[in-house]
Chains A and B, each alone.
Chain A
Amino acid sequence: MIKIDHLSTYYETIDGNVPVLNDLNLEIKDNEIFGIAGESGCGKTTLLKTLYDIVEFPLVIGHGKVILSGTKDGKPFSYESGKIRNSWWSNISYIPQAAQSVLNPIMRMKQQFLDSIPRESRKNETPEETLGRVAKYLEELSLSPDLLNAYPFQLSGGMRQRMIIALATFMSPNVVLADEPTTALDVVIQRGILMMLMRLQKQQKNTLVLVSHDMGVHYQVTDRMAIMYSGSIVELGKTEDIFSDPIHPYTTMLVGALPKVGDKSQKVGIPGRPPAFTNPPPGCRFAPRCPHAADCCRREVPRLREIRPGRYAACHLFSEEAEQNG
């Protein structure tokens, strides 16, 4: 389980600190596929980096923390921000954006696998035995074990992405973070890779956090999802509910703008552009683009509240409904 507790982060720049995540609270449960959606520059990748504890200059945690906890081989564990690093690969792993370019092109795949597997988990084995295990695992994923002898530059983008996923899930970590795992790949490969991720999650019963800006991908893959806008979560809930009955105006417009095969009716995108982090508008950050914005939206920042059971949204328009439901 990952618990995000009042997390705020900022980037240090010459012109001062740029806050990106603002007081984020979130709980990602065990054995679920959790999606994070939002347009580019809304803080998706910053959030994932903080979850994975790659907090390096210029990124700084201003307030709050991330707690990773669970049980591995019957033993409970719990790590906080700053210590999560110690559990990389075995308890948490990360499939980065543009994963095709994270492999060293002039090192054979098998060497890269050996380098990534923690020493403790292969101390009684020869490298050959470890590679035997890897080959077996690749076969389970219907990848050819011969690929271990290949150099990354010999593989296509989709194939490299699948090798990265194999690498990230080999130690069956409790949490897998995937940052836009299918950007730059075409639809057929995308479908293959997403289905592979879903199958792995079902087998290993772990947590998969999937970040993508493609709403269609979220519908297909995730169980629960959060919609981010300009550094905060604006809506959180079961994926199906979000699509069938969006609450926040941003989500409504996002879902309404999705083109569908078999539907030629006129669709409109969302006018305007997301605000800059350096000089955000007071109040709700979506207010300048929102068709329903009232005066209070431009003054007060809405909090994320439970509007219906299991459905959270940060919008003033629904505050009455939220109070009725307690």
Chain B
Amino acid sequence: MAEKLLEINGVSKIFKIGGMIRGKKLVAIDHVSLSIDNDKPVILSVVGESGCGKSTLCKMVLRMYRPDTGDIFLLGKPYSQKKGYDPLQFRLDVQPIFQNPYESFSARKKVDTYLFNTALRLGIVKTRSEAEKLIDETLCNVGMSLATVRGKYPTQFSGGELQRVSIARALLTRPKLIVADEPVAAIDASMKMNIVNLFKELKDKYKVSFIYITHDLSTAYYVSDYIATLYRGCLIEYGPAKEIMDHPAHPYTDLLMNAVPRVGEKWDNSVVLPDMEENEYAISYCKYAPRCPYAKDKCRKWRPELKPTTGDRQVACFYPLTEKSRDRS
């Protein structure tokens, strides 16, 4: 089998909250395993509600946090291995895009300095004129140009435009993987689709894979090839986007799907909201059981493991939803 681009292998992250003595442990990511193939670029969406560990996972992939258990492999090289780790090469291969473009650029610096710094300091090009050419070419691919960007401060752009610039900045290094943490959450509805379309385009053009982190399932459905659902730090469902979205097997994915305020279909029944969120991290049985409408005794005793079902799909549920059981509810 071909070498994986990214392999996340049984990774956990534990945060300590509260004081030294009465502090609580919070398992933000609980033994998550995911992988992205190298042979063809894909967009992998990680979806889940706030506090489910999406951002923590993304920060671990970006090497901002060190996992407490497990390891992450980029092109077969483990993150934990200090020897042979080349920070420069890592930054060339993996690039981030963050949620709020106004926060990712300093308001007091001109936007083009970021582009030139990325191009020159990471050693992609040697001279400034070469850098100009590269930047202009990359900006053209995201629908901007160096002439419109040069000499401007972040506040002179709209959110959508600035997000394009930050995508272009990430693309300068010709990365293999872009980690986008809620890239369209702060962007207006009229611009959102332009950005999401850009991901699809760039995937084919630059052969770059994306980890697209979001809670907006409608864009996730639109853009992604694979979807992973996280709940309270656990990976509960994984598989091809279309299959999961059309026929969610885990009750929580089903809930997420129904919570999207969509046009053309009104909400009917009410939802159960979590009460004490911190406690849910510490549950030893299925973490979703207290909120699950289908929960049975077994769910309140044991934790279901992620098991393959049909095709590429995996689900962590004792009683995965089928067409029949969904109709009955």
Contact = CB atoms under 8 A, between A and B. Distances in A.
B236 to A, nearest CB: 14
Given A191-B267, A259-B219, A261-B262, A273 B158 contact: yes
Nearest to A266: B197
B260 interface: yes
A192 B258 CA distance: 12
A188 B196 CA distance: 22
B264 A260 contact: yes
B263 A187 contact: no
Interface in B255-297: 255-264, 266-267, 270-271, 273, 275, 277
A243 B189 CA distance: 15
A264 B221 contact: yes
Chain A CB within 10 Å — which of B259, B263, B271 has the most? B263
Contacts of B188: 39-40, 213
A294 interface: no
Q: Which of A144, A191, A243 counts the most chain B CB atoms within 10 A?
A: A191
Contacts of B218: 216, 258-261
A190 B189 contact: no
Interface size class of B (residues with CB under 8 A): 35 or more
B25 to A, nearest CB: 18
B192 A261 contact: no
Interface in A169-194: 185-192, 194
B222 A273 contact: no
Interface size of A as a range: 35 or more
B50 interface: yes
A219 B261 contact: yes
Interface stretch (A69-77, A249-257, A297-305): A249-257
Interface string B240-257: 001001100000000111
A157 interface: yes
A158 interface: yes
A215 B188 CA distance: 11
Contacts of B51: 156
A220 B267 contact: yes
Interface in A254-288: 254-255, 257-264, 266-271, 273-274
A194 B261 contact: yes
A315 B224 CA distance: 37
A267 B261 contact: no
B261 A220 contact: yes
A195 interface: yes
B193 interface: yes
Contact of A257 (B158, B161, B190, B262): B190
B259 A158 contact: no
A261 B257 contact: yes
The secondary-structure label for the interface of chain B is helix
A135 interface: no
A191 B271 CA distance: 8
A27 interface: no
A14 B158 CA distance: 22
B271 A243 contact: no
A214 interface: yes
Interface string B94-136: 0000000000000000000000000000000000000000000
B208 interface: no
B221 A259 contact: yes
A187 B277 CA distance: 16
A253 B193 CA distance: 11
A259 B271 contact: no
Contacts of B161: 273
A59 B221 CA distance: 42
B50 A157 contact: yes
Given A254-B190, A257-B193, A190 B217 contact: no
B215 A186 contact: yes
Highest count of chain A CB atoms <10 Å: which of B161, B217, B222, B245:
B222
Nearest to B50: A186
A192 B263 contact: no
B41 interface: no
A215 B189 contact: yes
Question: Across chains A and B, which 10 residue pairs bring their CB atoms closest together, nearest first?
Answer: A216-B261, A269-B194, A39-B188, A269-B193, A186-B49, A270-B190, A187-B259, A259-B218, A191-B259, A186-B215
8 contacts: A186-B48, A187-B49, A195-B267, A216-B218, A255-B263, A259-B192, A264-B221, A266-B197
Interface of B: 48-51, 158-161, 188-197, 215-219, 221-222, 242, 245-246, 255-264, 266-267, 270-271, 273, 275, 277
Given A191-B271, A216-B260, A269-B193, 14 more contacts: A39-B189, A40-B159, A188-B49, A190-B261, A192-B270, A214-B261, A243-B264, A258-B263, A259-B222, A261-B218, A263-B222, A264-B222, A273-B160, A273-B161
